[in-house]
Amino acid sequence: MAARYFSRESKPYVYLAISSTPLAHMFVFCLLIGAALAVPSNWCGNKASTSEHRETIQALRVAETAGISPLSQGVNSNSTINVPVYITAVVNTTNSEEMLSETVLKSQFDVLSDRFAPYNITFMLKSTNRMVDDNNSKGFDYNGWNSFKAAQRKGDYGTLNLFYVTNMDDQTWGSGSCTLPGDTSGGPLVTMLDGCTMNAYTVPGGVSGGKTYKGEITVHEVGHWFSLLHTFDGDNCTGPGDYIDDTPQEATWELNVCPVGRDSCPDQPGLDPITNYMDYAGEG
């Protein structure tokens, strides 16, 4: 499916209706997650997008509908977007050396690269860094996390920084979160805090609540980094949803279940997009 881009302050806004695996595979996945003992109360910890962000993506939508290209800075639908990536892992002193090892982090990077490759987005792994720090392994549960994150972050605003932590409370923060694109003209703080923070169990082979993860939580969160909203954004059948015209309307979401054939907006075209990475149905 074609990608749509708008570049501002060095980071491209990317609109992708990226779907995960076929429904047959999703059905097998449903059987697997049925045995889960506990899941985060909220799969994704992202905050609501700002009015500025919504105005920008609405302007893109209107321009595209009118046949006016909003593309800038030489980016077009056939361009390849090259994104440098730095990965930082922070573990607790009680964790084994295998926890978030370089091999695991590279496996996570491979999953991310594979899922975005069909949309002309290429990730370039610059480095991985594994640190032992009992405080910062708590992520957002530690009041010094933002300062730590700003100090560790590398590259400009178009550089993706991924942080994985072992002891962040997913009942409060979800499995992970990522910053949406914003206007950096307000100062360096926007860039300093830019990036994604995920719980360690979300990497390929990670286990939590009886469920083994495949690394696709990061795909979901990086979708936010590229400006994508949830498929059910607005939780209704009449609003703009995720602002992508070919995403079926979705009024409700279910966490880590596989509701094949669900149609929460029966008066609108299409079934709920449960195989879209920006839904909450789970990894496919």
CATH of the domain at 17: 3.40.390
- Most confident range (mean pLDDT) of 4-8, 37-41, 52-56 is 52-56
pTM, two decimals, is 0.81
**Whether 97 is catalytic:** no
Question: Exactly one of 64, 97, 221, 254 is catalytic; which is it?
Answer: 221
- Report the relative pairing of strands 160-165 and 196-199 from DSSP bridges: parallel
Residue 146 tokens read as: 């933002």
Position 276 scores a pLDDT of 86
Residue at 44 is within a domain: yes
- Cα–Cα distance measured from residue 227 to residue 198, given in angstroms and rounded to the nearest whole number: 18
- Cα–Cα distance measured from residue 30 to residue 161, given in angstroms and rounded to the nearest whole number: 31
Percentage of the chain modeled with pLDDT above 70 = 77
**Helix and strand counts by DSSP (H, E) for the chain:** 7, 9
pLDDT, tens digit, 9 for 90 and up, residues 257-274: 677 878 889 989 989 888
Which phi-psi region, left, alpha or beta, contains residue 246 (left: φ > 0; alpha: ψ -120 to 50)? alpha
Residue at 187 is within a domain: yes
Range of the domain at 195: 4-225
Domain count, the chain: 1
Position 17 scores a pLDDT of 41
Residue at 250 is within a domain: no
Position 71 scores a pLDDT of 53
- Cα–Cα distance measured from residue 202 to residue 214, given in angstroms and rounded to the nearest whole number: 7
pLDDT, tens digit, 9 for 90 and up, residues 232-241: 887 789 888 8
pLDDT, tens digit, 9 for 90 and up, residues 149-199: 999 999 999 999 999 999 999 888 888 999 888 766 666 778 888 999 999
Residue at 246 is within a domain: no
Residue at 26 is within a domain: yes
